[in-house]
Chains A and B, each alone.
Chain A
Amino acid sequence: MRVPLSWLKDFVDIQTTAEELAKKLNLTGLETNLSKFGVYTEGLITVEIKDIQKHPQREKLNICKVYDGNNTYQVITADQSVKVGDKVILAKVGAKLPSKEINLVEFAGVKSEGMLVSLEDLGLEEKSDTLFLLDEDTPLGVDGGKLIGLGEDILEIEITPNRGDCLSVLGVAREVSAIFNFKRKDIVPALNLPEGDFRIEVLTDDCYRYCGVVIKGIKIKQSPLDVRLKLIKAGLSPINNIVDITNYLLLQEGQPLHAFDLDRIEGKLVVRKAQEGEKIITLDGVERVLSTDDIVIADEVKVLALAGVIGGDNSKITEETQNILLEVAVFDPISVRKTSKRLAVSTDSSYRFERGVDIERLVVVRDKAVDMTLSLAGGKVEGFKDIYRKPYKPVRITLSLQKVEKVLGEKLDPKECENILNSLDIPTTLRNGLLESVVPAHRYLDISRDIDLVEEIARVKGYDSFEPSYPKVPTQSFTPQIEFDFFKKTRDYFLSNGFTEVVNYTFTSEEFYQKLNLPVPPIKIENYILKSQSVMRDTVFAGLLETLRENVRFGKKDISVFEISSTFFDSYEEIRVGVLSSGKLIDGYGYTDKETKFSTTKEWDILTFKGVVENYLRSFGLSNFRIIPSDKSYLHPYLSFNIEVDGKTVGYVGKIHPKVADQFEIPYNCYISELNLKYVPRLLDESALKEGYLYTYYINKFTPVYREIPKYPPVKRDIAFVVGVDVREGEFEEALKTASEYIYKVKLFDVYRLSEDKKSLAYSVEFISPHRSLSDEEVNSIVDEILYKLKLKYSDLTLRS
């Protein structure tokens, strides 16, 4: 909200600088920035247009003779609406306007001694159609910059949703007065309006109070300079005197008003709920279809306005309007908000009603409105009707000073508390050590409990006046931070293995899934910003591919990245780690020097990548996993696998499918893995510890127990088994390891394809007995036994001689 300092001064006697004012407001709850109303410049004077001639060559230019009371100037203007007698501002040669400095110029041979200015020329408006017209009684030859207040301070205040009472010059004045202890002032006209004999009916409780005043015989014209300038300074455009009055009082008092053209109202005025499907064309020219939630102002035939939100086109003030009905009313905040949200129309009026309007001040505003109308537009008051269905019943609050101390941690002076509350127009008396307050109507939405008063006291006193203290450490509630440690450990593992951490958006596109022939995940954003970011992903893979693709675009094909993030399912989420490597593990160089020759380059391959993942699992003791075929269509069918622990899949590893590499324009030598880290239920009572998630295994991981180191040295034998080519080494090795209790260690050292259907698997096997050194004969018989056992499973197994 923009509050011109000059307007504020109408309501509070400000005895300090604008800077100090802004600073203190900031520290007491109104976030305030200072700005200026344009820039003051010398060389602006008020003039009257005495003569207008068309430019001989340029049809679109007028040659004006203007008079400042002493001198006459010849000035050229492009404004076609200028009339003799208009009073305007002349920027003389040398005046510095925001867009340019005024020089003596010639337009096709005719000289111009300055420029007649519009608001746009002064930098006060985006686009002006005409010159800025002064009032008829403006004296000539006075400083135009001073007259319109160029360079005046404007307070730009961000009002939080709880402070509807500050959405007005008056409200800010009340704050300033409370904070600085400055004197308040306000001129309330003493009117004694008669009751009118027109009919208004209020048929809904959502209209708390409705007051209508009929004024006849008014004349629509431009508002006086002072009114127009205040509106402009506050950021509104003047329209005509009647509309300006409603806007002026809205800004000044925080009370929205509306003016109807009385002659458009057919029969009595009714405030009621709209009928389903009822229509109205609003002031902005849009036809709105209403629902029974909306409050409308209607006559006996049609809807005239959306109550509290926006007026209707059919009853708006026009140049021809002579008789008006002024509405000063208060509507239910929630009802106004619902209508405003549903129809997507937010106005200065709806904004204030949503945040609460001072229902008790309504009469004062009404009288100010009538007073202003009579003086700006003339006319005669026919009378008013005030239907106050829901009279304000103030809440009374008792606040103890112990409570103040309990919250703020400091004993405060009761008298000081009392004074602060009273200065905010919250009538408070100190009785028996208790503060008894009555909540005023301008704060009824914000203040209802003692804690709310504590805040008022604390903020006016200033938060910086409270010295920091330190809570006792609740050691009895200590719990080890296993989850934090787990994620930290995971992150550190991949970082120290050369993987860079990435963060992708968790939303992706339907297109991504369609491209891969995968089902689109269930959770979607209804009000997305971009369609390409509208689906909550169910895989981290989506983002990692995007990461690779982006980097490839910039010429970086070799990347190793990981991301720990969420994936989304119908009733739960999964935190996963996604890992991606592409191209080279080491982008090295060749080296040759006599017989020394090597290359440091190493391409990623599936086994190296598998090692990264496997070592991660082993880093917290998880070694009893199984490698089973993968079901992922986007992976290479033979260079991919799932990892299973206790019969539950915890993730997959694989090379990307060449088709996917083509589709996404990424290198084919790309490996990807996704592991389920943690189950995140949405229901409070569901446990996050579920099988198939590494965090669950991490939490339950076993503590290794020391086993005695063998006393006798092992006997080593190299054994080469001949098996069918389809035999999976991992399974064979597992069978070998468990084939004899004497086997201490098994290490594969060679895989050799012997023929179309046979291969040899050569192991270095260590045998050991806890009780003695094994003899050659003993080892021979152990090998025989192993062979016998393995043959039960691998019937065509032989030894390679």
Chain B
Amino acid sequence: MDIKAQLLQVKTDFESDLENTENLQLLNEIRVKYLGKKGVITSVLKSLGSLSVEERKEVGLIANQIKDFIEESLKVKEEKLKAKELEEKLKREYLDVTLPHSWHSIGYSHPVIATLNEITSIFVSMGFSVESGPEVESEDYNFTMLNIPPHHPARDMQDTFYLNNGMVLRTHTSPVQIRTMLKKKPPIAMVAPGRVYRKDLDPTHSPMFHQIEGLVVDRDVTFRDLKGVLKIFLETIFGKDIPIRFRPSYFPFTEPSAEVDIGCTVCKGVGCKVCKETGWLEILGCGMVDPEVFKAVNIDPQEYSGFAFGLGIERIAMLRYQITDIRLLFNNDMRFLSQFEGIG
């Protein structure tokens, strides 16, 4: 067989070999077989010496064409095989990503603390400071300095836990008002979130619950300002359209005093069980700081005026999440707490 025919045979052989190559390792073997130092092409080219110059030129050209052809084909095939192998590797790594994740589960906020923090944040962003005080309080701070003298019937408004050390568990966050005014000079704008205690136990009353207290003291603070601040607050919590009404009430430490109702969030004012058919829900107590309180903390009531407010957090949380029994809030049953995913 002449060399030309040999070369063409090589090409045919190569094509058939390539056709049957299914992986990169075989491909490499083919590469060595045809293009290696001892490869088919090389040995064919070695035998060129026996040819005439003319023939050598012609055969050389063909040989180089075939060599180029083989190289190019190998390259294409290699890429193809690489892509195929990658695809296979990816396939082997398949995992059903709808399987449950293997990170720890989510932590749930407590609905009361979430509400308390949310409300505190609203006032903080209005420029109020956050103050705190102890939960074991003197009767002085809890009552007397708030214009609730001993033997006053107003002490009946809050059923008090008395302690073996002559103190009480604070019945409201209002003593923090006193503590703050004794420490700071006006202007004062503060809130005091915290735990408070009353001797009460039924589906809507817990012996321990949470309140937030607010106090603003400055020159020329008026009842209308009180209405303004509370309006902003209530609209932030309950939405822009919430109906609000102020009713005269009585707290010894404020004068005038008011209770604030919002339109029932359950029945939208039509009347239902939650609002006892009145269409209104009592939400907080407030008023202008009584001069007696200012006198107790050495602030001149002629120069300064102020307003104060206080609200129970459990009630707001219960309304918001439609919780019917307050005791659920303190059982820490995961079946209960895990219902409040995604709150503050």
Binding site for B on A (CB under 8 A): 26-29, 31, 33, 160-163, 333-334, 337-338, 354-355, 406-410, 449, 451-452, 454-455, 458-459, 463-464, 466-479, 481, 483-484, 488, 491, 494-507, 522-529, 533, 536, 546-547, 550-551, 554, 556, 559-561, 564-566, 568, 570, 572-573, 585-586, 588-589, 591, 596, 600, 680-682, 684
Contact = CB atoms under 8 A, between A and B. Distances in A.
Interface in B221-239: 221-225, 227-229, 231-232
Given A463-B247, A506-B135, 5 more contacts: A469-B222, A470-B229, A473-B127, A501-B113, A502-B332
Contact of A588 (B100, B107, B183, B330): B100
Nearest to A477: B187
Contacts of B124: 481, 484
Contacts of A26: 247
14 contacts: A161-B157, A162-B252, A333-B153, A338-B151, A406-B222, A463-B258, A468-B228, A474-B127, A474-B218, A477-B184, A483-B132, A504-B330, A526-B164, A680-B132
B250 A162 contact: yes
B104 A498 contact: yes
B151 A484 contact: no
A407 B117 CA distance: 31
Contact of A470 (B201, B228, B291): B228
Nearest to B207: A529
A546 B330 CA distance: 11
Given A406-B222, A449-B291, A529-B199, A573 B130 contact: no
A423 B334 CA distance: 58
A28 B95 CA distance: 70
Contacts of A496: 107
A495 to B, nearest CB: 4
A374 B189 CA distance: 63
B232 to A, nearest CB: 8
Contacts of A464: 245-246
Given A162-B250, A494-B107, A497-B104, A506 B208 contact: yes
A380 to B, nearest CB: 40
Given A408-B224, A473-B127, A523 B188 contact: no
Contacts of B130: 481, 483-484
A528 B135 contact: no
Contacts of A680: 132-134
A27 B330 contact: no
B144 interface: no
A338 B150 CA distance: 10
A364 to B, nearest CB: 25
Contacts of B201: 529
Interface in B244-260: 245-250, 252, 255-259
Nearest to B292: A449
Contacts of B135: 506, 566, 568, 573
B107 A500 contact: yes
Interface string B125-159: 01101101111111000000000000111101100
User: 5 tightest A-B contacts by CB?
Assistant: A409-B222, A600-B102, A160-B250, A409-B224, A29-B248
A409 B223 contact: yes
Contact of A560 (B104, B133, B247): B104
A26 B105 CA distance: 50
Interface in B147-202: 151-154, 156-157, 161-165, 169, 179, 182-184, 187-189, 195, 199, 201
A586 B104 contact: yes
Contacts of B250: 29, 160-163
Contact of B102 (A27, A408, A588, A682): A588
A495 B231 contact: no
A745 to B, nearest CB: 28
B255 to A, nearest CB: 5
Nearest to B306: A471
A163 B249 CA distance: 10
Given A550-B332, A586-B103, A407 B127 contact: no
B258 to A, nearest CB: 6
B330 A505 contact: yes
Contacts of A585: 104
A498 B199 CA distance: 35
B228 A523 contact: no
B224 A466 contact: yes
B305 interface: yes
A498 B207 contact: no
B79 to A, nearest CB: 28
B241 interface: no
Given A476-B187, A505-B208, A528-B161, A161 B152 contact: yes
B157 to A, nearest CB: 7
Nearest to A496: B107
Contacts of B258: 463
B136 A471 contact: no
B234 to A, nearest CB: 11
B74 interface: no
Contacts of B117: 488, 491
B247 A27 contact: yes
A500 B104 contact: no
A564 B335 CA distance: 21
A525 B113 contact: no
B324 interface: no
B120 interface: yes
A13 B99 CA distance: 77
